[in-house]
Amino acid sequence: MNAPNFTGGTVWTGDNLPVMRGMNSACVDLIYLDPPFNSNRTYEAPIGSKAAGAAFKDAWTPDDVDVHEHGELADRNPAACAVIEAARRAFGKGMQSYLIFMAVRLTEMHRVLRDTGSIYLHCDPTASHYLKLLMDGIFGHENFLNEVIWHYTGGGRSKRYFSRKHDIILLYTKGKTWTFNVDAVRVPYKDTSGYAKSGIVAKSGKRYTPHPDGTPVDSVWDIPIINPMAKERTGYPTQKPLALLERIIKASSHESDLVFDPFCGCATTLVAADRLRREWAGVDLSPLAIKLVDERIAKDRGLWGGVTALTEPPRRTDLGDPPNYRTHRHRLYGEQEGICTGCDTHFPFRVMEVDYVLPRSKGGTDHPDNLQLLCSGCNRSKGAAPGPNGGLCRTKPTHTATNEQAIFRDGASDI
Ligand SMILES: C[S@@+](CC[C@H](N)C(=O)[O-])C[C@H]1O[C@@H](n2cnc3c(N)ncnc32)[C@H](O)[C@@H]1O
């Protein structure tokens, strides 16, 4: 269990992947994410609403993912890769790209979640079945707790098929123990419930009486969508109701726990967490999101909301025990575009070897910033002969002076 390397009340504007990569491991108690659903639409806020100008694209092509993200997944999570490949065959490349985008981020979410933490992934039937498999691969099918159906009414009705009036929220835990505050989220008994009226007497003679706060909530939630006149409405496209987030946060966290929303939009999760006295942090790509977070939190707290707005990802402070350097091979290959850092020649992945820029003997770490790929020729010859190139077959230097000295003089191949 780690302390977070950022303060509660922080919102980053930017892509959540580098932000999560910079977060310490196991420092978050609860994650709720409401990412793009692969709906093949572009969402825009109505002109004149508080959120006017906010927009995000939810249509996916292979250009939307970095090639090294796919490679990194192959190293870190072969099960997720197999799911993505199956989705590509069944559905096509758009779904493949969307799932790669999701899988690299879900892998980071798994890392930053505490061992006792829970994650709620909000999606809809477009991709929920693929995302379920992805979550099984990343969080483990044994850690699947619930498929929550959020049922709502309103909007038009189809005459060609059953009207689509529900979203799906997949609930997973990270491990075998988790927070679940059943009494915090009880709902009233149905009017027709005989048990609610008079309780029940078991065969043993023991009498069970109805709970004053109602019955434990089941996995189908009837919560209205935000109506056009509701006070909480910001106009932000895809804004979720506070009541939905309040139920999730009350059920799966305690006061002072840290709640994280990597696709925080207009801050529904953050506002709900703040009202329930939880710590919180969020990220959103849209610069408009932070404006709405600020406004909504300030409205609740008074004049000065006190939100910390950042664009730079945090720097991990828990890298005492980083992952094995080999896990970065695919990522480095993508970043270097398959070119050996030593001789600037393109090589197939299989003959590229991971090299420490600053050798471990000199305090170099397994962090990706300190790693590069060399072709096996460069790696073997590195430092073998005296002279400016220290035995490397390079023709063109590509490092800073400091890094080059480390490579040329030490010859410390770590492969
Ligand atoms: C479905 S909306 C979230 C709505 C939010 N739950 C609310 O109630 O306002 C998805 C959000 O994800 C954001 N987004 C998309 N890609 C992102 C990325 N790579 N990093 C961070 N945010 C991203 C979009 O800007 C959008 O605000």
Q: Are residues 122 and 91 in the same domain?
A: yes
Residue from 126, 285, 293 whose mutation best tests the ligand 1 pocket (most atoms within 8 A of CB): 285
Does the residue 1 lie in any domain?
Answer: no
pLDDT at residue 301 in the model? 83
- What is the pTM (predicted TM-score) of this model? 0.79
Number of CB atoms found within 10 A of residue 199's CB:
11
φ and ψ at residue 305, rounded to 5 degrees: -70, -35
Residue from 56, 150, 288 whose mutation best tests the ligand 1 pocket (most atoms within 8 A of CB): 56
Ligand 1 center to 35 CA (angstroms): 5
Residues recorded for the chain: 415
pLDDT in tens, the chain (415 residues): 689 999 999 999 999 999 999 999 999 999 999 998 776 666 665 666 666 666 666 666 666 666 567 767 877 788 999 999 999 999 988 888 899 999 999 999 999 999 999 999 999 999 999 999 999 999 999 999 999 999 999 888 999 999 999 999 999 999 999 999 999 999 999 988 888 888 898 889 898 899 999 999 999 999 999 988 899 998 887 899 999 999 999 999 999 999 999 999 999 999 999 999 999 999 999 988 888 998 999 888 876 667 999 999 998 888 766 667 778 888 889 889 999 988 999 999 988 999 887 676 655 667 777 788 999 888 888 755 443 334 343 333 333 323 322 222 233 333 2
Say if ligand 1 is within 6 A of residue 263 CB: yes
Say if ligand 1 is within 6 A of residue 240 CB: yes
Q: What is the CATH number of the domain that holds 402?
A: 1.10.30
Domains held by the chain: number: 2
Q: Name the region of 377 (left: φ>0; alpha: ψ -120 to 50; beta: rest).
A: alpha
Picking from 310, 339, 364, the residue at the C-terminal end of a domain is 310
Does the residue 164 lie in any domain?
Answer: yes
Picking from 310, 341, 358, the residue at the C-terminal end of a domain is 310
Task: Return the residue whose CA atom lies nearest to atom 12 of ligand 1.
Answer: 263
Q: Are residues 165 and 30 in the same domain?
A: yes
pLDDT at residue 155 in the model? 82
Say if ligand 1 is within 6 A of residue 283 CB: yes
Ligand 1 center to 241 CA (angstroms): 15
Task: Return the residue whose CA atom lies nearest to atom 27 of ligand 1.
Answer: 265
Q: Are residues 152 and 28 in the same domain?
A: yes
Task: Return the residue whose CA atom lies nearest to atom 19 of ligand 1.
Answer: 15
Say if ligand 1 is within 6 A of residue 69 CB: no
Q: Are residues 160 and 266 in the same domain?
A: yes
What domain range is 247 assigned to?
10-185+223-310
pLDDT at residue 382 in the model? 73
Contacts of 160 (CB under 8 A, 6+ apart): none
Q: Are residues 399 and 264 in the same domain?
A: no
Does the residue 204 lie in any domain?
Answer: no
pLDDT at residue 329 in the model? 87
Say if ligand 1 is within 6 A of residue 289 CB: yes
Q: What is the CATH number of the domain that holds 237?
A: 3.40.50.150
Q: Are residues 169 and 297 in the same domain?
A: yes
pLDDT at residue 49 in the model? 62
Say if ligand 1 is within 6 A of residue 33 CB: no
Say if ligand 1 is within 6 A of residue 36 CB: yes
Does the residue 94 lie in any domain?
Answer: yes
Distance from C-alpha of 222 to C-alpha of 226, rounded to nearest angstrom? 13
CA distances to 8, 97, 360, 391 from 335, in Å: 33, 18, 22, 25
Q: Are residues 238 and 381 in the same domain?
A: no
Say if ligand 1 is within 6 A of residue 286 CB: yes
Q: Are residues 151 and 24 in the same domain?
A: yes
Q: Are residues 92 and 146 in the same domain?
A: yes
